[in-house]
Structure formats: structure tokens, C-alpha cells
């Protein structure tokens, strides 16, 4: 959209933001999967429906993008307005479909694992997620090599439509294979199913339950701060490598890969060794401390302007991210009530989605602000200011983590659940 078709950057950014703006739907979809089974199953039918929808919508985006491009080229005001509205609406629907698939999926993880098994399960899931991103990027590069440098929409559209259709079929097929047989009709898995209670609570009652404990707010804020501390650098990292370290485009593109490899190793290290030995709280605290140290090093390494030093620090940042992410996800899954697991997972997913969206906006915005306040011939100072601000958010995450109390959460929400069920049954 940006390079070959010449779309305005603001238009692309706003359209993509609509995927995150619908994140509150995670709470609804989580509660629905708790309370309303389909064909006797609480999770997998929603995962399949959501996956089918977001795969279909991804394919439909291709022709819509090219119709909007044609309207922009022709300069028709109403056609452009309708095209922009359709693009924003379709990306919002895509976000809804992703929420419908992913929230019951995380609830299924809670259903299918014990507290002792979750660190390993979370580590494996997020490692495979990272591997999937890498494999997807490589596969896309190989499959689309034939249209490198092509800008003719008549050539691009059919090629991209064929490619996206094949990707959609592969993704949906993998979803079916991955979840088939995990959840059987009538099978009782722990306590997260509505039939394990006397009655399924309504969405309004679920919201009262969520807001009944101060611990929910504390952990929600911790998730916001932790995710911002990890992803605020995302929109400016490659520019940092180019402007401060003099790296070419291909080399800056590899910076995210270095960070990703470190993250993958950190997830494995935490899931299979650190969390079982240190405990989830201690490991989450260690992850936040390591992220803080790595962000300070990312800022300081700019003084050297040595690309290899930057890559080493980014690998360490990825390692810290993996450790902190694994422990935080295990905490997220533990800070639920099994009776309404989907509802709580929706709340935690909302915190992560909004903070990642805010990170994309704040990263670029803070860099623009820092550039306006620093000398034009010293780009390092502007980037260092952003990384130091991100480090301050990591400190805030540490402070908020110290206020999280798992026992207090369970006591507060357990009492509230009893009251909610009494009202619902009354």
C-alpha cells in the first residue's frame, strides 16, 4: 500500500488501527464462550468460526485495497470516502474475527492445563508463534519474489489475491489440525465450563465480577506498562539503526530478527527452567529488570555507533523480553477464575491490544517531539530520549507488579462470584 501503490501513510496507519480499536470485544467473546457452548463445546467452535472469518476477510482486503487505489488515482471524492470507510470497516471486522478466535483459544489453554503445566505450555505456544512469524516472513518473501519492483495494479492484484487465498487455506487448515480433538462434547475440563456451575452468568454480571477486585485493575495496569515497555521501540528501531549506526535497509530489517531470536530463547528458558524454579512472580520481576537494563543499553550503545554492539544489545533485549513475557502470560492465565476463564482472558487481551496500539503511536510521536527539541545534526539524542522514556515505563511496570497479589485476587473474586451467582439464581 505504501510503496507500490503510494497510499498516504496516515491513511494506512488509521486503517490498521481499527483492528486494535475493537479489542473490547475480547471481553464479550470470552464471556460468550464461557456461557454458550456450540455443539457441546465451549472453545473450539468459536476458534474455528473466528479463524474462518479472519482468513476470508484477509482475502477480501486485497480487491478492496485496489478499488480504493483506483478511486485515489481518479480523484473521486465520494468513491474515496466510501473506499476509506470500507477499508476501516473491513479491518475492524478482521480485528473482531481475530478476537473471536484468540480469546477462546487462550481460555482453552487454561481448560487443558494445570497451574504447574502452564509455564511450559505458554513457553511452547509463544515459541511457535515466534517461529510462525519468521517462517511466514520467509515464505512470503520467496513466494512474492516474482513481483519485486512491480507497481502495475493489473499485475499485482491477481498475484496477491492468489497468494493470500493460499495463505488463508493453509492457516485455516493448520487451525483445524491444531485444535481437533482437544475438546470433546460433554467432557468436563477443570471448572471453566458453564455447565460446571448451577447457571451461566450474564455479561453484566461478568463485568461486575471483573470490577469487584482492586487486583484486576492493578494487573490490568501492569499489563499496559509491561507491553508498552516492550513494544514502544518497535516503530523506531529500524530508523535508529539507519540514522545512528549507518546501516543499509537490508541490515536494519535484520534487527527485528535478532530481537526475535533472543525472544524465542528467552521464552524457552523461562518456560522450561526459570519459572518452574524461581516462580512466576520472581521471573516476571526478573524479566522487567532485564528489560529495563536492556533499554538503557540500547540508548547507551548509540554512543559507539557500532552495528555489532547494537545487535548484541538487541539480542539481550529479546532474551529479557522472552523471559518477562513467559512469566507475565503465566500470571495472566493464573489471574482468572476457572468458572469465567474466557471473560478474564478477554480483559487481559484488551490490555495487551490497546498497549501495543498505543506503543505504535507513541513511539513515532515521541521521536518527532524529541527531534523538535534536539539539535538537527544529532539524531542520537532524539532516539535516546525515547528509549529512556521506555525505560521509565519499565520501572512503572516493576512498581505495579509489586502490587499484584494472587491470593488476594482469588479471595476477592471468589467472594464476588458467589454473590453474583446468588443474584443470578435468585
Question: For the segment 240-275, what is each residue's pLDDT rounded down to a tens digit?
Answer: 888 889 887 556 767 877 888 888 899 889 888 898
Q: Dihedral sign for Cα 357, 362, 367, 372, please.
A: positive
pLDDT band for 130, please (50, 70, 90 cuts): confident
Fold of the domain spanning 199-426 = Growth Hormone; Chain: A; (1.20.1250)
* Residue with the three cell numbers 507475565: 328
Predicted local distance difference test score (pLDDT) of residue 293: 97
Question: For the segment 328-376, what is each residue's pLDDT rounded down to a tens digit?
Answer: 888 887 787 766 666 677 777 778 777 877 777 788 788 888 888 888 7
Range from 38-42, 84-88, 315-319, 357-361 carrying the lowest mean pLDDT: 357-361
Buried b (16+ CB within 10 A) or exposed e, 8-42: eeebeeebbbbbbbbbebbbbbbbbbbbebeeebb
Instruction: Please check the confidence at residue 314 and state whether its pLDDT lies above 60.
Output: yes
> For a pLDDT cut of 70, what percent of the chain falls above it?
86
Predicted local distance difference test score (pLDDT) of residue 199: 39
Instruction: Please check the confidence at residue 35 and state whether its pLDDT lies above 90.
Output: no
Rounded average pLDDT over 24-42: 84
Question: For the segment 69-128, what is each residue's pLDDT rounded down to a tens digit?
Answer: 999 888 878 888 999 999 999 999 999 999 999 989 988 888 888 877 877 777 778 778
**Backbone φ, ψ for residue 41 (5° rounding):** -120, 140
Mean pLDDT of all residues belonging to the chain: 83
* Number of residues assigned to the chain: 426
Rounded average pLDDT over 191-208: 50
**Backbone φ, ψ for residue 38 (5° rounding):** -115, 125
User: What contacts 126, CB < 8 A, 6 or more positions away?
Assistant: 267, 322, 325, 326, 329
Of the segments 77-81, 201-205, 225-229, which one has the largest average pLDDT value?
A: 225-229
Predicted local distance difference test score (pLDDT) of residue 177: 94
Predicted local distance difference test score (pLDDT) of residue 376: 77
pLDDT band for 25, please (50, 70, 90 cuts): confident
Picking from 293, 292, 324, 318, the residue whose alpha carbon sits closest to that of residue 237 is 318
Predicted local distance difference test score (pLDDT) of residue 253: 61
Q: Domain residue spans in the chain?
A: 1-173, 199-426
* Residue with the three cell numbers 479471595: 411
Predicted local distance difference test score (pLDDT) of residue 171: 95
Picking from 294, 298, 289, the residue whose alpha carbon sits closest to that of residue 383 is 298
pLDDT band for 409, please (50, 70, 90 cuts): confident
For the chain, give the secondary structure using H, E and C.
Answer: CCCCCCCCHHHHHHHHHHHHHCCCHHHHHHHHHHHCCECCECCHHHHHHHHHHHHHHHHHHHHHHHHHHHHHHHCCHHHHHHHHHHHHHHHHHHHHHHHHHHHHHHHHHHHHCCCCCHHHHHHHHHHHHHHHHHHHHHHHHHHCHHHCCCCCHHHHHHHHHHHHHHHHHHHHHHHHHHHCCCCCCCCCCCCCCHHHCCCCCCHHHHHHHHCCCHHHHHHHHHHHHHHHHHHCCCCCHHHHHHHHHCCCHHHHHHHHHHHHHHHHHHHHHHHHHHHHHHCHHHHHHHHHHHHHHHHHHHHHHHHCCCHHHHHHHHHHHHHHHHHHHHHHHHHHHHCCCHHHHHHHHHHHHHHHHHHHHHHHHHHHHHHHHHHHHCCCCCHHHHHHHHHHHHHHHHHHHHHHHHCCCHHHHHHHHHHHHHHHHHHHHC
Predicted local distance difference test score (pLDDT) of residue 198: 35
Predicted local distance difference test score (pLDDT) of residue 248: 76
Amino acid at each position: 500500500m505504501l510503496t507500490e501503490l503510494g497510499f498516504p501513510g496516515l491513511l494506512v496507519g488509521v486503517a490498521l488501527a481499527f483492528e486494535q480499536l475493537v479489542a473490547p470485544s475480547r471481553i464479550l467473546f470470552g464471556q460468550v464462550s464461557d456461557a454458550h457452548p456450540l455443539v457441546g463445546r465451549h472453545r473450539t467452535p468459536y476458534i474455528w468460526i473466528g479463524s474462518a472469518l479472519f482468513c476470508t476477510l484477509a482475502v477480501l482486503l486485497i480487491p478492496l485495497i485496489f478499488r480504493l487505489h483506483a478511486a485515489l488515482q481518479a480523484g473521486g471524492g465520494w468513491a474515496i470516502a466510501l473506499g476509506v470507510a470500507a477499508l476501516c470497516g473491513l479491518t475492524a471486522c478482521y480485528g473482531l474475527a481475530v478476537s473471536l478466535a484468540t480469546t477462546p483459544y487462550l481460555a482453552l489453554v487454561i481448560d487443558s492445563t494445570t497451574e504447574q503445566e502452564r509455564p511450559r505450555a505458554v513457553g511452547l505456544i509463544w515459541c511457535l508463534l515466534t517461529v510462525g512469524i519468521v517462517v511466514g516472513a520467509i515464505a512470503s518473501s520467496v513466494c512474492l519474489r516474482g513481483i519485486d519492483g512491480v507497481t502495475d495494479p493489473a499485475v499485482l492484484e491477481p498475484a496477491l489475491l492468489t497468494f493470500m487465498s493460499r495463505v488463508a487455506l493453509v492457516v485455516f487448515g493448520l487451525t483445524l489440525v491444531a485444535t481437533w480433538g482437544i475438546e470433546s462434547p460433554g467432557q468436563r475440563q477443570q471448572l471453566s465450563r458453564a455447565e460446571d456451575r448451577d447457571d451461566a452468568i450474564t455479561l453484566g454480571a461478568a463485568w461486575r465480577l471483573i470490577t469487584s477486585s482492586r487486583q484486576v485493575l492493578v494487573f490490568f495496569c501492569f499489563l499496559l506498562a509491561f507491553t508498552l515497555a516492550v513494544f514502544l521501540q518497535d516503530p523506531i528501531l529500524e530508523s535508529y539503526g539507519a540514522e545512528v549506526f549507518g546501516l543499509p535497509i537490508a541490515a536494519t530489517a535484520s534487527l527485528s530478527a535478532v530481537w526475535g531470536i533472543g525472544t524465542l530463547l528467552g521464552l524457552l528458558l523461562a518456560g522450561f527452567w526459570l519459572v518452574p524454579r524461581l516462580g512466576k512472580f520472581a521471573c516476571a520481576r526478573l524479566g522487567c529488570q532485564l528489560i529495563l537494563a536492556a533499554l538503557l543499553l540500547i540508548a547507551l550503545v548509540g554512543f559507539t555507533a557500532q552495528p555489532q554492539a547494537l545487535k548484541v544489545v538487541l539480542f539481550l533485549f529479546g532474551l529479557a523480553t522472552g523471559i518477562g513475557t513467559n512469566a507475565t502470560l503465566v500470571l495472566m492465565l493464573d489471574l482468572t477464575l476457572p468458572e469465567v476463564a474466557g471473560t478474564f482472558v478477554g480483559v487481559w487481551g484488551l490490555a495487551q491490544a490497546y498497549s501495543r496500539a498505543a506503543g505504535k503511536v507513541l513511539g513515532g510521536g515521541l521521536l518527532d517531539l524529541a527531534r523538535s527539541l534536539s539539535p538537527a545534526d544529532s539524531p542520537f539524542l532524539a532516539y535516546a530520549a525515547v528509549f529512556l522514556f521506555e525505560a521509565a515505563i519499565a520501572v512503572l511496570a516493576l512498581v505495579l507488579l509489586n502490587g499484584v497479589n494472587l491470593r488476594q485476587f482469588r479471595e476477592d473474586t471468589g467472594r464476588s462470584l458467589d454473590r453474583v451467582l446468588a443474584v443470578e439464581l435468585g
